[in-house]
Amino acid sequence: MPAPNRFLEYIGAHAGRFIERLADAVAFPSVSAEAAFRTDVIRMAHYLEDQLKSLGVRTKLVDLGKHVLDGEELPLPPVILGSTGDDPKKKTILIYGHYDVQPACKNDGWGTEPFKLVVDSETGRLIGRGSTDDKGAILGWLNVLEAHKSLGLELPVNLRFCFEGMEEVGSDGLDDLIRNEVKKGKESWFYGVDCVCISDNYWLNTRTPCLTYGLRGIAYFKITVSGPASDLHSGAFGGMVHEPLMDLVALMGKLASPDGQILIPGVADMVPPPDEEGKKLYESLDSSVADVEEAAGAKITRSDDKVPVLMARMRNPSLSLHAIEGALGARTTIPATVTGKFSLRLVPPQTPESVIPLVLEHLYSEFAKLNSKNKLLVERGGDGRPWMDHQHWNYQAAIKASEAVYKRRPDLTREGGSIPVTLTFAESLGVNVLLLPMGRGDDGAQYALSRCQMNVAVLIYILGSTNEKLDRSNFIEGSKLMGTYLYEVAAISV
């Protein structure tokens, strides 16, 4: 059951109006990380609810309570739940998206005003904060709803929606909401959901549509070495005392080798080596070492061969050193207390539960070998399980839809990062989750420290992409893809 031509034509014919609606959405500076914009985040929620209602969706705004940000108690933005269609003969698909955005201000390196959507008619780029992450995708679903309503077409599936406003800062309260909602049984907004579709990631490149069937997990650590009561002068004390920074550097040097090997015993071995078929999958992906070099802005890949480079991102665990803090003192000091931060990205069958004890044991035993009188403190900084699932009919439907709209087979990829809500949906609802990206790999490629949010007292740095964009064709063809996917899901016999 391919999507009706009328639907596809409607989307194409109304592109201008859809882009106007995207401009309306982008105009809300719904920055969840900054207290000053909380009202705008909430205004964005009401705007979106109104749009859903006008398209025939039954909605509810769920209050998640309050939290403290920058020393200020603030209301959390509501989660928008939505429902349309209750036909027991149809499949029920749950759509997730988020309406909050990363911080942005022109000083960060934007070429245009971030909260004013700019249509670059030459390149077809729709430039603005949230255009691709994630307002464009949410509006893609609205485009699908509008087309059906205007054409008097019946949707091929029942739809449920869950749109949140805190994704960029850790999805406060969302996990609890999902778990509580599931417990309500027949009263639940998620009752009867057959599968989930999340559109909040990107193609591997700028050419080929992609479906994402795996995400790496994460285990995050913070290690602090402290010694003297305050910073010491290296002239007076250098040589006499154990130096915290020297100990920390030695310890962090024992975590991974510069060529990328994880040196924590037992961690890398958990993952079986790839078989020939696995290698062929990575060979087949429309990506190259040059693509990675372009994204990184430098020729710094650990291999010159595409297969190990892509496997390093998608199927292998990795360890990254993120920060060394406390070592910014005067010219010749011995810093008194220094903190290192690192994390491991995990892949199945690794889990935080299986990896964390190995990391802790390694840290303590390597530190003991230093024979230092300084003190080591190890703290954990949050973790998430890896996820992989791609033999499901949900993916078969998405592959067919991608082929129908883009006339080519999509890349089947795994992502290096984490989208924790994926796992919450998969585990709480017990259903398959499809990651169906709308945007391209270069939509938010350049990340920069957001200077508008530099907090002098606490030195918070927030990383945000600059010049975020969504290509016009990805917005319009992506809306067609979403609709087509619903028809393919409906058609597949389970």
- At which residue do the structure tokens 């957001």 appear? 450
Stretch in the footprint of a copy of itself (CB under 8 A) among 64-72, 221-229, 403-411, 474-482 = 221-229
Query: Does 322 help bind a copy of itself (rule: CB under 8 A)?
Result: yes
Query: Does 418 help bind a copy of itself (rule: CB under 8 A)?
Result: yes
Query: Does 36 help bind a copy of itself (rule: CB under 8 A)?
Result: no
Find the shortest distance in angstroms from Cβ 295 to a copy of itself: 8
Which is nearest to 403 in space by CA: 391, 413, 395, 414? 395
Q: How many residues bind a copy of itself (CB under 8 A)?
A: 86
Query: Nearest 5 degrees, angle CA 407-CA 411-CA 412?
Result: 130
Strands 79-84 and 58-62: antiparallel
Stretch in the footprint of a copy of itself (CB under 8 A) among 43-51, 272-280, 292-300, 389-397 = 292-300
Amino acid at 409: R
Residue 72 CB coordination number (10 Å): 10
How many CA atoms within 13 Å lie on the side-chain side of 290?
Answer: 2
Stretch in the footprint of a copy of itself (CB under 8 A) among 5-13, 59-67, 295-303, 477-485 = 295-303
Find the shortest distance in angstroms from Cβ 464 to a copy of itself: 9
Q: How far apart are CA 287 and CA 14, in angstroms?
A: 33
Helix (H, G, I), strand (E, B) or coil at 461: coil
Stretch in the footprint of a copy of itself (CB under 8 A) among 10-18, 366-374, 387-395, 476-484 = 366-374
Tell me phi and psi for residue 296, to 5 degrees.
Answer: -80, -15
Nearer to a copy of itself, 119 or 378 (CB): 378
- At which residue do the structure tokens 């409906």 appear? 490
Token pair belonging to 191: 């009752």
Nearer to a copy of itself, 166 or 405 (CB): 166
Token pair belonging to 263: 């040196």
Query: Does 372 help bind a copy of itself (rule: CB under 8 A)?
Result: yes
Report whether 386 contacts 187 (CB < 8 A). Answer: no
Among 68, 272, 456, 458, binds a copy of itself (CB under 8 A): 456
Query: Does 229 help bind a copy of itself (rule: CB under 8 A)?
Result: yes
* 100 given a catalytic annotation: yes
Helix (H) or strand (E) holding 197: strand 195-198
Which of these is catalytic: 34, 49, 100, 477? 100
Output Rg (C-alpha) for the chain, integer angstroms: 24
What is the footprint of a copy of itself within residues 462-481 (CB under 8 A)? 462-463
Which of these is catalytic: 49, 146, 167, 243? 167
Query: Does 274 help bind a copy of itself (rule: CB under 8 A)?
Result: no
What is the footprint of a copy of itself within residues 231-270 (CB under 8 A)? 231-243, 245-247, 249-250, 252-253, 256-260
Query: Does 306 help bind a copy of itself (rule: CB under 8 A)?
Result: no
Strands 210-215 and 411-415: parallel
What is the footprint of a copy of itself within residues 104-143 (CB under 8 A)? none
* 442 given a catalytic annotation: no
Q: How far apart are CA 160 and CA 92, in angstroms?
A: 7
Contact map string, positions 171 to 210, toward a copy of itself, x by CB under 8 A? ----------------------------------------
Nearer to a copy of itself, 13 or 328 (CB): 328
Nearer to a copy of itself, 166 or 193 (CB): 166
Q: How far apart are CA 160 and CA 185, in angstroms?
A: 15
Which is nearest to 170 in space by CA: 350, 355, 424, 438? 424
Find the shortest distance in angstroms from Cβ 345 to a copy of itself: 5
Find the shortest distance in angstroms from Cβ 320 to a copy of itself: 4
Among 52, 211, 309, 436, binds a copy of itself (CB under 8 A): 309
Query: Does 56 help bind a copy of itself (rule: CB under 8 A)?
Result: no
Q: At what angle do helices 352-369 and 244-252 cross, to 10 degrees?
A: 130
Q: Outline where 114-173 has alpha helix (H).
A: 135-151
Find the shortest distance in angstroms from Cβ 305 to a copy of itself: 12
Which is nearest to 57 in space by CA: 176, 155, 185? 155
Among 416, 426, 428, 490, binds a copy of itself (CB under 8 A): 416
Contact map string, positions 381 to 400, toward a copy of itself, x by CB under 8 A? x-------------------
Helix (H, G, I), strand (E, B) or coil at 187: helix
Query: Does 448 help bind a copy of itself (rule: CB under 8 A)?
Result: yes
**How far lies 468's CA from each of 128, 346, 381, in Å?**
6, 28, 29
Question: Which positions are catalytic?
Answer: 100, 167
